[in-house]
Amino acid sequence: MYGPNDFDETRLDLLKEIGNIGAGHAAEALSLLLHKRIDMKIPSVTILPLNELISAENEKQVAASYIGIDGDIKAYFFMIFESQSAKRLIDELVPDGTAFVNELAQSAFCEIANILCGSYLTALSSFLNIQITQTPPVYAADMEGAILGEGLAELSLSNDFVILINAVLSDRASQRQLKGDFYFMPVAESLDAIFRLTEGKSFL
């Protein structure tokens, strides 16, 4: 069974490149949705111990969306933006919307999660030639430590680490940037399958 020590530089680079392919598709979809040119990049992919995330007392206010993944692999996805970044993102879809109290704004945030997470998963399924389905996003707003602690505690029964995918969204016209975090957590058996399927693969 694979673990966090098996994520060497080559495998992390592979996950990052898959992310950048997905980011390209996500940027196109967001550009159509927002009627402006949006760019998206994945600057880094890292491995974090789950117990550190659960025990961290992070009081940063965030908006988050949770997605379950099923099919040929099983995994979980969290999309997290700091509250001010989330509000700026939502305001593009729902002017004067508030990420924490407005139901329409929360739906907009979940739709963005569908696009961003779904694009990564589409790129992953295409590269590995597997079938993946995803559940509708579930919205939450709280301190980051509370969201991750509550959400990941149950998931820790199936794994002991999480893959952190950093993302940067850029408005090409204004050059404004929004930074978000994506926590990707395959269950142990699915991680084994991902490693087997990526063995010897590259984008070259």
Is residue 63 predicted with pLDDT exceeding 60?
Answer: yes
Question: 190: domain CATH number?
Answer: 3.40.1550.10
DSSP 79-97: EEEEHHHHHHHHHTTSTT-
H, E, C per residue of 149-176: HHHHHHHCCCCCEEEEEEEEEEECCCCC
What is this structure's pTM?
0.84
Instruction: For 83-117, write each residue's pLDDT tens digit.
Output: 888 888 888 776 665 555 578 888 888 888 998 88
pLDDT average, residue stretch 125-150: 86
Question: Residue 203 above 60 pLDDT?
Answer: no
Say what percent of the chain tops pLDDT 70: 84
- Residue 168: which domain range? 4-198
Task: Give a yes or no: residue 203 inside a domain.
Answer: no
Q: How many domains does the chain have?
A: 1
Write down the pLDDT at residue 3: 60
